[in-house]
Structure 1
């Protein structure tokens, strides 16, 4: 690319030279310079050439005069970058004192000052030197106020001081916030249940946040928004409001189920969750349904219909086990939890299976199941269950055949 640019530059100079020759060749003109009694007469072409030569000479002289200064500046920048690199390396190695000293020296260079001051402050905090950290924050505030505000607000938020964190962020206009700073302000507003403020900041144009960051903040907003409902009517209104914005996700469904259980509206919550799952199935909805399990034959049958469409969904099988146990049918619950485990269910399914066996007086199986729950959490392979026949094992692992609208079986993914 540089070769192409050089070619264009020389081509432009050639075109300008040709144009100048075309203008001057018919008549070179005359330039008369009179100064202190001395008269100099020359042509326009020579005068222009002399002016260009003079300007070039002045540029060359200025470059030579600035060469020592530029060399010193380049050396200083190189030293600052080296100290910054060594300081950050020392910080991540846990040598916080050395990191702070190196980063303070690196902060003397304007090009890396903000990052060096930020790293030095983190090193001071790691050593619990809060006086030095406060001084470094003040220096950073003079250099980059918005970065200083977001760094201070992040620390306050981690300490549970959401109101102070929000106050710090509001000292800077929202138009100057980086995506990280905006996320900190939104999280603080959500923690304080200032949902209108948080929603406005999330929906602001040009916020610059990534899709992952938006999804995380949206899930946090939904959880707190539903968990903050002080009555069943408020909870229902907020559920419908969020549902109108799109399909409920796992965080939203779980928060709704937990708050509904606390407010005594499990039946309404279960009906709403099943209706959402029937519209567009998601494992997150099935996970929430396990939290509102109850003895309702009609709703249980609707869950069984969902299972026919998703026979290998371990989360849905786990939910059906919880509903069977809520109906007092421990044998059916054990069957569903065995199937959930066979389809990849985790520690919670093992735990519930152990409780079901204990409820039937099958203490050996209960002990093995509880032990397997701990083993799965630790990343270990579960132990085989006793008292399970080959037919029961095959039934647990079996998945009903699925066919499309033409009657052709779906191939396994």
Structure 2
């Protein structure tokens, strides 16, 4: 098809040329040019051909005149690229002093100025020279202003100055003048400062850009929403946040637990129980089971019955057993509470189980045992060895060695114990 189109165009051009020649042959025209007593006479065809030839000669001459300057410019750009590449390589290798030198030379070329100074600022910061890093960022100019602001914020966040980073980024966010890194740093700084609204405002820009992987974006959203739920000042704000979350977000165990805890703290225990029980019906989660035992004393009897029923679903869940222990203790059933917590500690050394055991011993009046249990909770959190707990009445000492339960697959088939 392409060949036929080319042939057709050539035939058409030949036809036009033949017609034009026939038309000009009948009357080739006449051109006369007089300049200072000199007269030039020729036909229109020759005049046009002469003009085209003169234009071609002038074009070639201009290119020849520009060639040395263009070659010089190409040489300068090539050296700039080489210096930029050398600086980036030195930075990646950790040779920050050499990186600074190479990048400073590369920054002398306007085309490479912004990226060279941005990396040079990072190299200076890594060397422990924040003054030079700040100067490099100041010299970036308007072309790299958003990147320079993000780099400044990154330095502040890494040094723990989250309030300063937030003060730098929030005005830029108000005018939508932040880079994608700036939006992410704004979320991190806002979370560190407890400004959950600023962190929430940063999420849509990151979601639209799709600059993060799906898992990373989901993890950031979960952290921000969990913090916002935990900091909700009243039930109206809490329900607005929960209602504004997507269906997928409302299924995440961390968010269900955060909503339930805050809802219970605001006096909406039934709403908290409903969300947790619905989530556990969809898919079992130890994190949600833990939250179920931390909703306070309200509706403890109903929650205890539900948690006992869950044992058939997750007999090896140490968080569920810990929640059971808390609920038994709230009902003053200290014997059952200790049995559940003992089983939990055999399965996993959870600080929360030791803490609940301390609460249980406090209720029983064993203050020395409670002090030991609380101390064990701290030791367990630090990864240190725990101390044996003094026996209570006729009960033997708590044995925290692992015990075995029958494990079944998702199809109900028993699994063989691991070798």
Normalization by structure 2: what TM-score?
0.67
Q: How does 1:79-118 map to 2 (within 5 A)?
A: 79-118=79-118
Q: Distance in 1 between matches of 2:117 and 2:140?
A: 6
Q: Would the aligned equivalents of 2:100 and 2:124 in 1 still touch at CA under 8 Å?
A: yes
Q: Distance in 1 between matches of 2:353 and 2:318?
A: 9
Q: Would the aligned equivalents of 1:290 and 1:323 in 2 still touch at CA under 8 Å?
A: yes
Q: Distance in 2 between matches of 1:176 and 1:133?
A: 22
Q: Would the aligned equivalents of 1:274 and 1:303 in 2 still touch at CA under 8 Å?
A: no
1:223 aligned partner: 226
Q: How does 1:265-280 map to 2 (within 5 A)?
A: 268=270, 271-278=273-280, 280=282
Q: How does 1:24-39 map to 2 (within 5 A)?
A: 24-28=20-24, 30-35=28-33, 36=35, 37-39=38-40
Q: Would the aligned equivalents of 1:318 and 1:336 in 2 still touch at CA under 8 Å?
A: yes
Q: Would the aligned equivalents of 1:222 and 1:251 in 2 still touch at CA under 8 Å?
A: no
1:298 aligned partner: 302
Residues 1:190 and 1:175: Cα distance change in structure 2 (over 3 Å): same
Residues 1:276 and 1:180: Cα distance change in structure 2 (over 3 Å): farther
Q: Would the aligned equivalents of 1:273 and 1:285 in 2 still touch at CA under 8 Å?
A: no
Residues 1:163 and 1:224: Cα distance change in structure 2 (over 3 Å): farther
- Number of aligned residue pairs: give it: 371
Q: Would the aligned equivalents of 1:225 and 1:238 in 2 still touch at CA under 8 Å?
A: no
Deviations 1:230-258 (A, max 9, x none): 45x46753564355764142442344466
Q: Distance in 1 between matches of 2:183 and 2:383?
A: 40
Q: Would the aligned equivalents of 1:152 and 1:165 in 2 still touch at CA under 8 Å?
A: no
Aligned: 1:252 with 2:255: yes
Q: Distance in 2 between matches of 1:130 and 1:258?
A: 43
Deviations 1:41-85 (A, max 9, x none): 2353x5555554444444433333333323222222222222222
How far off its partner does 1:104 sit?
0.8
Unaligned 5+ segments in structure 1 are 342-346, 376-385, 404-408
1:41 aligned partner: 42
1:78 aligned partner: 78
Deviations 1:199-255 (A, max 9, x none): 455346994243455434422321331232345x46753564355764142442344
Q: Distance in 2 between matches of 1:214 and 1:138?
A: 31
Q: Would the aligned equivalents of 1:154 and 1:165 in 2 still touch at CA under 8 Å?
A: no
Q: Distance in 1 between matches of 2:4 and 2:79?
A: 37
Q: Distance in 2 between matches of 1:297 and 1:268?
A: 13
How far off its partner does 1:119 sit?
0.8
Deviations 1:349-385 (A, max 9, x none): 9x958997xx9x9x9xxx9xx99x959xxxxxxxxxx
Q: 10-19 or 278-287: which moved more?
A: 10-19
Q: Distance in 2 between matches of 1:73 and 1:289?
A: 71
Q: Which has the larger radius of gyration?
A: 2
2:408 aligned partner: 399
How far off its partner does 1:138 sit?
1.3
How far off its partner does 1:306 sit?
5.2
Q: 299-308 or 317-326: which moved more?
A: 299-308
Q: How does 1:227-242 map to 2 (within 5 A)?
A: 227-230=230-233, 233=235, 236-237=238-239, 240-242=242-244
Residues 1:176 and 1:83: Cα distance change in structure 2 (over 3 Å): same
How far off its partner does 1:117 sit?
0.4
Q: Distance in 2 between matches of 1:297 and 1:162?
A: 45
How far off its partner does 1:108 sit?
1.5
Residues 1:323 and 1:217: Cα distance change in structure 2 (over 3 Å): closer
Q: Would the aligned equivalents of 2:325 and 2:356 in 1 still touch at CA under 8 Å?
A: no
Q: Secondary structure of the equivalent of 1:38?
A: strand
Q: Distance in 2 between matches of 1:8 and 1:88?
A: 52
Unaligned 5+ segments in structure 2 are 329-333, 362-368, 385-398
Residues 1:115 and 1:277: Cα distance change in structure 2 (over 3 Å): same
Q: Would the aligned equivalents of 2:162 and 2:190 in 1 still touch at CA under 8 Å?
A: no
CA RMSD of aligned residues (A): 4.9
Q: How does 1:300-319 map to 2 (within 5 A)?
A: 300-303=304-307, 305=309, 311=314, 317-319=317-319
How far off its partner does 1:124 sit?
1.6
1:160 aligned partner: 161
Normalization by structure 1: what TM-score?
0.68
Q: 28-37 or 95-104: which moved more?
A: 28-37
Q: Would the aligned equivalents of 2:342 and 2:400 in 1 still touch at CA under 8 Å?
A: no
Q: Would the aligned equivalents of 2:191 and 2:224 in 1 still touch at CA under 8 Å?
A: yes
Aligned: 1:322 with 2:310: no
How far off its partner does 1:101 sit?
1.1
